[in-house]
Chains A and B, each alone.
Chain A
Amino acid sequence: MAKTHVTMKVNGAEVEGLVEPRTLLVHFIRENLGMTGTHIGCETTHCGACTVDIDGMSVKSCTMFAVQAQCSDITTVEGMANADGTLSALQEGFRMMHGLQCGFCTPGMIMRAHRLLKENASPSEDEIRMGISGNICRCTGYQNIVKAIQYAAAKINGVEFREAAE
């Protein structure tokens, strides 16, 4: 099958590659670009581990073809740290609140939470839980992931983070 030339912006850098039309975006990111932070979990659009941000939308990159991302602006978990290399508010939240155990779902969780907080800077706990309902974690029971996102929201909004009483 003839290959197609694709160009897109990933984490601020112009990238290009030759792909078959059937190449999934997640495979292009991991194998052509060598950026393995984006994970492949279920491969059936359920788990959210492959979530990346495309033109302001959270997208499961296992359910889109690389050719469809032509000219898109993509952010992956590799693009999440601050410009000076320090952890972003979300990354810091996951670290401080123990928002991960095995860490497999974490890139997808962070990318989804990133867009959630862009759209709603002060989400309620329910809104956070619904907001990450397309991301599956098998370790944490989600409690600390929710806290990590609350921590990040507080930090972004410049207010003190207080854990809700349990």
Chain B
Amino acid sequence: MIPGSFSYHRPASVADAVKLLSDLGEDARPLAGGHSLVPMMKLRLASPAHLVDLHGIAGLKGISRNGNNLVIGAMTTQHDLLASEEVAKSIPILREAALLIADPQVRYRGTIGGNVANGDPGNDMPALMMALGASYRLEGTNGARDVAAADFYQGAYFTALEPGEILTSVSVPVPAAGHGYAYEKLKRKVGDYATAAAAVVLTMAGGKVATCSIGLTNVHETPLLAADAAKAVIGTSLDAATLKKAAAAAEAIMAPAADARGPVEYRKHVGGIMVTRALQRAAANAK
């Protein structure tokens, strides 16, 4: 399979990249890891006339600490995340989830920026970013702005990105020391998108849940923050009745598509199970 013809651009700075994207208009697409876009181009489901490759911009790669936040450059790959001691130490759920993304080869190329900016409801990082309270730095010809992950996703492949803007970094608040976390992802095989997945970040105090947030992957046209489910577990010791209530609250906001991964009822049902398992495991590994 051979993609349609396009012109290739490799800017060396964010300013040049956004100028190119702005000048070239809708026929141009930014190219990050390319592991969503290139297959789409080979299938001729996407035929951009211009590709603006972001690999030439050195400043877009890397992980740094800024106060209580970890700032991850958009072109940082999943492999880079897995290799980062800082990530493993301070936000281990990112490492756990990155290991469940695609396969080793894809993780060498696939980027955090592409994963969160593409707007694909099957991508894993967006629900995590919502659960962690992360924000995205978007840069365009008019300057930079920060948008909360929770406000970024508008529909399948529709996001808060304006034409000509690119997502340049992700800023993730480091959760409290001793927090519990889990990303539970049901998938049919390595490399598959989730049938349903749930991210939980919580803190415990005296055997009871003190704070909790829950993100959901691939059970709606956007990633979801399951706020009611999270509220239902606060102050409890995650007894059976509470877990049931939380799963039901999460299922109530799910609206998955019926596809090869199963009918709607099944995907909602296993979505509830992912929430239950993630809550239990997060509580167990909280200190």
Contacts and interface: CB of A to CB of B under 8 A. Distances in A.
A64 B105 contact: no
Interface residues of B, number: 28
Q: How large is the interface on A (under 10, 10 to 19, 20 to 34, 35 or more residues)?
A: 20 to 34
Nearest to A40: B1
B106 A134 contact: yes
A21 B51 CA distance: 9
- The CB with the most chain B CB atoms within 10 A, among A20, A21, A44, A132, is that of A21
Contacts of B191: 46, 133-134
A24 interface: yes
Interface in A33-70: 43-46, 48, 51, 57-60, 62-65, 67-68
Nearest to A50: B105
Interface stretch (B4-12, B129-137, B168-176, B223-231): B4-12
A58 B105 contact: yes
Given A21-B51, A43-B42, A44-B39, A131 B6 contact: no
Given A44-B39, A45-B39, A59 B108 contact: yes
Given A21-B51, A22-B4, A64 B39 contact: no
B240 interface: no
A87 B39 CA distance: 35
B55 interface: yes
B109 A63 contact: yes
B108 A57 contact: yes
Nearest to A133: B190
Nearest to A58: B105
Contacts of B5: 1, 20-22
B34 interface: yes
B235 to A, nearest CB: 39
A68 B103 contact: no
Contacts, number: 78
| Interface of A (DSSP majority class) | mixed
A129 to B, nearest CB: 10
B63 to A, nearest CB: 17
B79 interface: yes
Interface in B2-53: 2-8, 34-35, 38-39, 41-43, 51, 53
A46 B1 CA distance: 14
Contacts of A59: 105, 108-109
B199 to A, nearest CB: 21
Given A58-B108, A68-B55, A131-B104, A22 B35 contact: no
Contacts of B6: 1, 21-22
A65 B8 CA distance: 10
B231 to A, nearest CB: 36
A147 interface: no
A23 B5 CA distance: 9
A51 B105 contact: yes
Contacts of B104: 58, 112, 116, 130-134
Nearest to B37: A63
A134 B103 contact: yes
A4 interface: yes
A62 to B, nearest CB: 8
A63 B35 contact: yes
Interface in B179-197: 190-191
B102 interface: yes
Nearest to B5: A1
Contacts of A65: 8, 34, 38
23 contacts: A1-B5, A1-B7, A4-B8, A21-B51, A22-B2, A22-B3, A22-B6, A24-B3, A43-B1, A43-B42, A45-B38, A45-B39, A57-B108, A58-B108, A63-B39, A65-B34, A65-B38, A67-B8, A68-B34, A112-B105, A133-B104, A134-B103, A134-B105
Interface of B: 1-8, 34-35, 38-39, 41-43, 51, 53, 55, 79, 102-106, 108-109, 190-191
**Pairs of residues from A and B, 8 with the lowest C-beta to C-beta distance, nearest first:** A134-B103, A21-B8, A57-B108, A133-B190, A1-B5, A134-B105, A22-B3, A58-B105
